[in-house]
Amino acid sequence: MNDVLAPEPGTDEVDILFFLIGDALYGTDASQVLRIDRSLPEDITLPDLGLPHRGLRALVFDTPEGEGHLKVDAVNGVRSIPVAALRRMPAAVAAAPYAVGVCLDEQAPRPVLLIDLVETAKTQGRH
Amino acid sequence: MSLETPNEKPAGKPRAGKKPAASKAGTAAAPAASPYKPVTDALLSVLAGNLQTRVPREILSGEAAELGHLLNQVLEQFAAAEHRKQVAAQEIDQALDSLIALVREGDLSRWNTTTEDPQLGPLLEGFGKVIETLRTFVREINEAALRLSSSANQVLAASTQHETSSTEQAAAIHETTATMEELKHASAQIAENAGSVARVAEETLGAARAGRGAIGEFIQAMQQIRSDGVAVADSIAKLSKRVERIGTVVEVIDEIADRSDLLALNAALEGSRAGEAGKGFSIVAAEMRRLAENVLDSTKEIKNLITEIREATAAAAGAADASKSATESGEKLGAVAAQAVEGILSGVQETSDAARVINLATQQQRTATEQVVASMAEIEDVTRQTTQASKQATGAAAELTQLAGRLAELIKRFKAD
Amino acid sequence: MATQARPEQEFFCFRVGDLRLGVPSENVLEVLRAGLLTPLPRTPSFVMGVTGHRGVVLPVVDLLRFLSKGEARIGPRTRLFVGVSGSFVAGVVADTVLGLRRIPVSDILPPPLGGDAAAEHLLGVVQASGTQEAINLLNFTKLLQTARQRAVAR
């Protein structure tokens, strides 16, 4: 299990891949992403994250059941973020299980929601 | 006839008369029978008119015989003379007959009387010369009459022609006079119209000049407005910039006031946590908040004012733009109008000049026409007289032709050749 | 002490929507600008999202939604006060902060009986007097507990 908030010992930075769904910016552990592909109609879309404009891209990741494809609008790039800037999602808010935390990056005007891609596949499976 | 002729002829009478007178005296001296009785008888017989009587020679003797013989000789010569006299008288009669016939019949060509009588010759010759002269006269008169007739005809023709022409001319002149009258009226009207045109053109000229002045002022005003408008637009732009600057400053003030508000609030919270010790601090913080709120209220007002100013300046800028384009089009229109008025001015000037020239020309023409009309009246008068004269001339010529005809007719009676 | 003669309680007073509310000042740590929030997927509607403050992820609560009195709107002047109760910390949306008011305990009237759902989270009501408007005083600790329960219980 790749846990964004459990960095490997000896490192104080994590590579975060930032992507857009609609106008909303999200981040994910870059190591989860196998590749970026063209999206397919059957790719995962999560209405709670907002509806993609055209959703021409897909983040491809590995799951126990095989490859997962999350439809996104654009990939902004990967940046190394200090682990100190990452926070777990407060349990009190009881957010969706794939919303695992936020990145309090100084470059972003607001906290960026961190998504666990594998959890999205589970959620999708549930729907 | 032979008996009458000596009686009629006075010329022969005295000649015949004398002899018997002389013989009478002789007879009165022989009443007694005498040897000379045969002679006396013979003389008496002769005196009685028997010119063939002769003294018988056989009965006489002597002296008587001699006398008888002499007397016979005298009688013989007398008879011969008488005979000659008769012949001459015959010839004269003949000549006179010829002359009478000539005169009566007019035939001068037949004169051809000659004589051997040396005494009559010159007379006949004279007659012949007279006849010849007459012939020449007749010929010449005939010729002249013919010529006269022809000339008279020509004169008549010419005169008739002239009369016709004169009448036609009179008609033509009358017509021309009428036309000239019309022309006079027409030119008077034209002069009047041209005068009106000139006056109107003058008025138009004045109006157009006034228009030009007005357009000039208009264009100047437009330029003034435009430059004013540009100045206004500049001012608006500057005002806009300053207002924006004020807006920025107000934003800063706002931000500061907002931060002050937050700071004061948090300070008050801190003070509250400090318990009694922080109480005064809290009061100051609350006061600070109020100040910050006042500032925010003020800045809000300022912002509203700025918004109003923005709207007003935008409207003013729009109005300035509209005014600019309006004045520009106004200037263009003014320029066009100025050009048009210039055109009108020059056109009207030309019209005015032309109308004045026409007026002058027509006035001159009217004067000239009046003169022409007067002249035409004179000509008409003269023509009338001419026509009258022509008619008289034609009458005279007709009469002359008639006379020439008659003359020719009369002359025809005389035959010269 | 004079204060003991006439006990007072300090409240942090604010307005949100048509509500004028008060929270005991000891439950309020700080006041912030609302700023930009990050919406969260599948949270209760009264959780507007999260915001980061001083290295802490603060859930932002809309009391209008929580009390079923409408919806809060976040503008440039919208405030967020950091409310605390025990170990729970949350940002609460306030349109305007009225300030800290020390209210005599005797002036606090009990909440009206048989009131709406909001009434169960009220400590009491302060009637309007003079320039002061009437204010509903919230039991913030109870409110946060209810909020947690509602979020997790879904």
* Model confidence at A86: pLDDT above 70: yes
Q: Choose the closest CB to A96 out of C37, C41, C59.
A: C41
For residue A88, tell me if it sits in a domain. yes
* CB spacing of C41 vs A90 below 8 angstroms: no
Q: For residue A110, which amino acid is it?
A: R
Q: Burial level of B212, CB count in 10 A (0-12/13-18/19+)?
A: middle
Which of the residue ranges A70-79, B3-12, B73-82, B139-148 would you say has the lowest mean pLDDT?
B3-12
Interface test with A, best of C32, C37, C38 (most A CBs within 10 A): C38
Percentage of chain A modeled with pLDDT above 70: 88
* Model confidence at B350: pLDDT above 50: yes
Q: Burial level of B291, CB count in 10 A (0-12/13-18/19+)?
A: middle
What's residue A9's pLDDT? 55
* Model confidence at B355: pLDDT above 60: yes
* Model confidence at B9: pLDDT above 50: no
Residue B383 CB coordination number (10 Å): 21
For residue A40, tell me if it sits in a domain. yes
ipTM value: 0.84
Q: How confident is the model at residue B30 (pLDDT cuts 50, 70, 90)?
A: very low
Average pLDDT over residues C32-53: 90
What's residue A126's pLDDT? 45
Which of the residue ranges A47-51, B29-33, C7-11 would you say has the lowest mean pLDDT?
B29-33
* CB spacing of C31 vs B289 below 8 angstroms: no
For residue A28, tell me if it sits in a domain. yes
* CB spacing of B286 vs C99 below 8 angstroms: yes
* CB spacing of B266 vs C31 below 8 angstroms: yes
Strand order in the sheet with A57-63: A33-38, A57-63, A66-72
Residue C50's φ and ψ, nearest 5 degrees, are -125, 155
What rounded mean pLDDT belongs to chain B? 79
Count of structural domains, chain A? 1
For residue A38, tell me if it sits in a domain. yes
For residue A65, tell me if it sits in a domain. yes
| Domain extent listing, chain B | 4-148, 152-412
Q: For residue B63, which amino acid is it?
A: E
Residue of C nearest to B296 (CA): C77
In the three-class reduction of DSSP (H, G, I as helix; E, B as strand; rest coil), residue B49 is classed as coil
Question: Which residue in C100, C95, C138 sits closest to C119, CA to CA?
Answer: C138
Domains of chain C as residue ranges with CATH: 9-153 (2.40.50.180)
Interface test with B, best of C27, C100, C101, C102 (most B CBs within 10 A): C100
For residue A26, tell me if it sits in a domain. yes
**Which residue in this structure is represented by tokens 């700071």?**
B263
B165-196: pLDDT as tens digits = 888 887 888 888 788 888 778 877 887 887 88
B266-294: pLDDT as tens digits = 988 888 888 777 778 878 888 888 888 88
A31-41: pLDDT as tens digits = 999 999 999 98
- Sign of torsion over alpha carbons C125, C127, C131, C133: positive
* Model confidence at B327: pLDDT above 70: yes
Q: How confident is the model at residue B7 (pLDDT cuts 50, 70, 90)?
A: very low
All residues at 6 or more sequence positions from A2 whose CB lies less than 8 Å from its CB, including other chains: A29, A31, A32, A116, A118
Give yes or no for a contact between A85 and C143, defined as CB atoms under 8 angstroms apart. Answer: no
B375-388: pLDDT as tens digits = 888 888 888 888 88
Residue B55's φ and ψ, nearest 5 degrees, are -80, 125
Its domain, for residue A88, covers 13-126
Q: Which fold has domain B152-412?
A: Helix Hairpins (1.10.287)
Q: Which residue did the predictor score with more confidence, A110 or B105? A: A110
What's residue B76's pLDDT? 85
Element (H, E) at B37: helix B37-47
Chain B residues touching residue C31 (CB < 8 angstroms): 262, 265-266, 269
Give yes or no for a contact between A5 and A88, defined as CB atoms under 8 angstroms apart. Answer: yes
C57-114: pLDDT as tens digits = 999 999 999 998 899 999 988 999 999 998 889 999 999 999 888 899 999 998 877 6
What's residue C2's pLDDT? 46
